[in-house]
Amino acid sequence: MSKYYVNKFLYTVDRDPELLKRYTEDPRNLVATWEQSLGPKLLNNEVEASSVHAFTAEEREALINHDYVALFEMGAHFFLNLTLFIGMYDEPYLLKSGPLSFQREFAAKLQHWRGKDYPTVET
């Protein structure tokens, strides 16, 4: 398991409009591209590679499926997990069901965690 790598994915996609668009429209391909050529780069360095991290099969599937519930349960950082999916779903939900409807659905899908200790986001 690599919470760090999942967070690195969420972080790098959220901050780049082109990657966000590709992740919205074709997540399977974007995840594959990311694993092949973006994830293995040291951050803020176009030259240096980093061989430390890789996704587990569960992490890869959760990212491909836009499965923010699974990502929460794996301990992905709550802020990254929220802000990236808001970036993709806030507007379509707003047009269909009104303000904050995506955020409320997100919360509703996590209700089984109410009153429990959440999975730690420590990496």
Partner 1 sequence: MAQLVATLASTHHPFYLKATTMPPEQQLPEAPEWKRKVEAYRETLERTKPDILVMIGSDHFHQIFLDNCPQFLIGKAERYDATFYNEEREFGIPKYVLEGDEDMSRFMHQALMNQNFDFAFSNELKIDHSIICPIITVRPDADLPVVPIYTNIFAPPLHTPRRFYDLGRAIRKAIDDYPSDKRVAAIGTGHLSLELGGPRQFMETGPDPEFDRQAIEWLRTGNIEAILENVTHESMAASGNATHGFLNFILMLGVAGPEGADYVDNLDLFHTMEAYFTWYPKEQAA
Distance CA 86, CA 37 (A): 25
Distances (CA, A) of 100 to 7, 21, 73, 80, 86: 24, 21, 22, 17, 10
By rule CB under 8 A, what string of x and - marks binding of each residue 39-58 to partner 1? ---xx---------------
Who contacts 99 (Cβ-Cβ below 8 Å, separation ≥6)?
Answer: none
Distance CA 95, CA 92 (A): 5
Q: Is 94 in the site for partner 1 (CB under 8 A)?
A: no
- Among 19, 38, 70, 86, the residue binding partner 1 under the rule CB under 8 A is 86
Q: Is 96 in the site for partner 1 (CB under 8 A)?
A: no
Residues that bind partner 1 (CB under 8 A): 4, 7-8, 11, 14-17, 42-43, 68, 72, 77-83, 86-87, 90, 100, 103-104, 106-108, 110-114, 117-118, 120-123
